[in-house]
Amino acid sequence: MSVPSLIVAPSILAADFAHLADAARAVEGAADWLHVDVMDNHFVPNLTIGLPVVQSLRKTTTLPFDCHLMIENPDRWAIGYAEAGAYNVTFHAEAAADPVRLANDLRAAGSRAGLAIDRDTPVDKYLDLLPHLDTVLIMTIKAGFGGQAFLPEMLDKVRQVRRAVAASGLEIRVEVDGGIADDTIAQAAEAGADAFVAGTAVYGADDPAEAVRRLRRLASGASDD
């Protein structure tokens, strides 16, 4: 199977929670991953969905799940998402007690392992962890809510991670999340991101699949006409 050079991952946080299976199917064939934001009302103030919903939703779509855990104690809870069949499980650096052990456990459970870095967290001290990771997610907003404005100053962290990944020779996705839309995705791609989460820009559009295709064209540097 060929590996897509760019990943577009619609976030169902911006979809209608009463119709999540429809939201997933609406982007099948256009999206690469489905981004699932799990929030616990502790690590972030917001509360979204958890494991039972992910388990049920897993049966409704062929799209790989990119589970973004904005939760406390991922060391305890993240593994369930891997066991539920998530393709990638991303936990927050700020929340994990033992990120290397957790990443290893996720991989052993059959998932890829992702580390997320929130807005106010420098990435420097986490670069040593790259050999244990498959994705590094740089928040381009403060984690917790969809529909916030993109923070271009976060792109320095994207550049930093991209440089470290290139130097390592490892195959690691550099993912951006927050405010990714038609007018921001190209600068994130230019900074070195190769996986793009988009909530509002996809599910706020009349045609979510077309919005995904447009974002992909814009990220790959093609003109949008």
* Residue list 164-183, contact with ligand DX5 (CB under 6 A): 177-180
Give which of ligand DX5, Zn ion, none residue 200 binds (C-beta under 5 to 8 Å, depending on kind): ligand DX5
Q: Please work out, in degrees rounded to the nearest 5, the angle formed at the alpha carbon of residue 140 by the alpha carbons of 137 and 146.
A: 100
Give which of ligand DX5, Zn ion, none residue 180 binds (C-beta under 5 to 8 Å, depending on kind): ligand DX5
Count of residues that bind Zn ion according to CB under 5 A: 3
Q: Write down the least CB distance from residue 14 to ligand DX5, Å.
A: 5
Q: Which C-beta is closer to ligand DX5: that of 178 or that of 192?
A: 178
Asked whether 166 and 147 are in contact (CB, 8 A), the reply is no
Among candidates 65, 80, 191, 182, which has minimal Cα distance to 138?
A: 191
SS3 34: strand
Q: Write down the least CB distance from residue 47 to ligand DX5, Å.
A: 12
Q: Which C-beta is closer to ligand DX5: that of 4 or that of 147?
A: 147
DSSP alpha helix (H) spans, the chain: 20-26, 51-58, 74-83, 99-108, 155-168, 185-191, 200-203, 208-219
Q: Work out whether 37 is an interface residue with Zn ion (CB under 5 A).
A: yes
The interface region with ligand DX5, picked from 7-15, 16-24, 54-62, 128-136 by CB under 6 A, is: 7-15
Binding mask 52-71 for Zn ion (x = CB under 5 A): ----------------x---
Q: Write down the least CB distance from residue 137 to ligand DX5, Å.
A: 8
Among candidates 149, 141, 81, 154, which has minimal Cα distance to 114?
A: 81
Specify the DSSP class assigned to residue 11. Answer: B
The residues, any chain, with a CB within 8 Å of residue 5's CB and separated by 6 or more, are 194, 220
Strands 173-177 and 195-198 turn out to be: parallel
Q: Please work out, in degrees rounded to the nearest 5, the angle formed at the alpha carbon of residue 200 by the alpha carbons of 29 and 96.
A: 90
Say whether 177 counts as a known binding-site residue.
yes
The residues, any chain, with a CB within 8 Å of residue 141's CB and separated by 6 or more, are 119, 148, 149, 150, 151, 177, 178, 179
Binding mask 23-52 for ligand DX5 (x = CB under 6 A): ------------x-x---------------
Residues with a known catalytic role: 37, 177
The residues of the shown chain that bind ligand DX5, judged by CB under 6 A, are 11, 13-14, 35, 37, 68, 141, 143-148, 177-180, 197-201
Task: Report the interface residues with Zn ion, using CB under 5 A.
Answer: 37, 68, 177
